[in-house]
Structure 1
Amino acid sequence: MAFVLNKTLGPIVSRRLLQRVITTTTARQQQLRFRSRLPYNTVVLFVPQQEAWVVERMGKFFKTLNPGLNFLLPVLDSIRYVQSLKEIAIEIPSQTAISKDNVTLTIDGVLYLKVYDAYLASYGVEDAEFAVTQLAQTTMRSEIGKIALDTLFRERESLN
């Protein structure tokens, strides 16, 4: 489809459409997790259920707004981060691991993530989702390395 559009409509239109097609799957996944824009600061704010808004006053952390009715000063306060408090599932990509008896295995998994502290999720690390995914991959690899292949097959349910 991109080649047909490239010949008929020109390279600019086809690149835009191709970029939309490529980013559609990731945009749908991130649509529930992130907003495209931060909420506009008025005096009276209604924070939706299962969200926490991190507020900075004059560039420094001020407070976290919980769901419900909240009040802010429009000139001094600004909403810097919107954190979803819903549980999300993150797919851990396939990777190779070596068991205790030197057998190479291909493993993957699913990680369930829920933000409990919006302050730490916003300021604790640059990209919290990436950091947790990397930690899960490293932990899976190290735990598989401690177990022999036969034991791994027998205790598969307990590892989950």
Structure 2
Amino acid sequence: MSSTSTREIKAVPAFPWLGIDIGGTLVKLVYFELLDLTEDEIRTEGEILMNIRHYLTSNRAYGQDGVRDHGLELTNIQLGGRRGNLHFIRFPTSRMPNFIDLCSMRNLHTLTFEIYATGGGAYKFEKDIVEKLKINWCKCDELDTLIQGLSYLSKLN
């Protein structure tokens, strides 16, 4: 279920769209909140997607250490042909096991989705994530991913 990748992300992945950089000190999470769900998406995955949206967007703090960087949000943008908001969340790497448990508790693993991950923690936490969440864990090269992200942001401006 996992793969090491330096590839360019070409195919549109399933929802929800999450990206994560797991560093030695901080975990940085990016979540794309869809604003244009289709009727079919609402019917098949709506409840869980709404659960995710509510949890991630109704708070600016998560526990004692997690923070949603409201000032960094990109609102009403086009990404992969879809319209939505990009949210940026960070928390200490020491809380990663709690995050994995929270994802399991909130039933994120019941959706067919994949997470693109960078950083040393992408390797360190891979086994636990794949076993507990049953997801496709795509490890990506950090520098390649950074360059693709900067390229995307420059196109927005």
TM-score normalized with structure 2 length: 0.22
Larger-Rg structure:
1
TM-score normalized with structure 1 length: 0.22
